[in-house]
Amino acid sequence: MTMNTILEILKYTIPAVVVLIACNMLVGKFLNSELRRKKVAMLKDNQDITVRLRLQAYERLILFVERVHPRQLIPRVYQSGMTVAELQSILVYTIKSEFEHNLSQQLYVSRQVWGAVLGVKEHEINMINNMAQQLDPNASAKELHKRVVDYVMTVDGEIPTDVALNLLNEEAKEVLTYGAGS
């Protein structure tokens, strides 16, 4: 090969290589830009879904706290002719059942809120068991009903259900205001 042939080959290959490198860079930038744009869109979609799931969790936990409060729970399960032991048993069973039904909601709320919800469950069960132990198990369930209602009406300070409801409402409002990042 002669020097002229080599120069002739270089005259065509060098511009082709330069064009190839430039095209590669442009296509790479375009693909990276598109990938970033799709990631941002997917992140926004995921955030919208997460906000919806978190709000549903707050709704379900608020409903749980309201449903296990004695003013809602006792009228729902009380039947005339029940004994203290029967009412105690069905109240505790209902609280545990409602709680287990909502266990998965802890994924979507803060530890503080979940701790408050857990505290509500424990407080209500302990209160019912303590009051029932002070009564004759075969006595009329009206006795336990009356004691629980009297306790709820005369308790000093905030009861766990009030604390949990306040925390749930505050955190739900934060999620509504700031989205899933809160």
- What is the phi/psi pair of residue 83, to 5°? -95, 170
Res 178: pLDDT: 77
Sequence-separated (6 or more) residues with CB below 8 Å from residue 103: none
In 10 A of CB 85, how many CB atoms?
16
- Choose among 135, 137, 130: nearest CA to 85: 137
Res 125: pLDDT: 96
Res 3: pLDDT: 85
Domain with 18, as residue range(s), is 3-181
HEC profile of 117-172 = HHHHHHHHHHHHHHHHHCCCCCCEHHHHHHHHHHHHHHCCCCCHHHHHHHHHHHHH
pLDDT tens, the chain, 182 aa long: 688 888 888 888 888 888 889 999 998 998 888 888 888 777 776 677 788 889 999 999 999 999 999 889 999 999 999 999 999 999 999 999 999 999 999 999 999 999 999 999 999 999 999 999 999 999 999 999 999 988 888 887 778 888 899 999 999 998 888 765 55
CA atoms within 13 A on the CB side of 23: 6
> What's the whole-model pTM score?
0.73
Instruction: Dig out the tokens for 35 from the structure.
Output: 């990938």
Task: Give how many domains the chain has, as a whole number.
Answer: 1
Res 38: pLDDT: 83
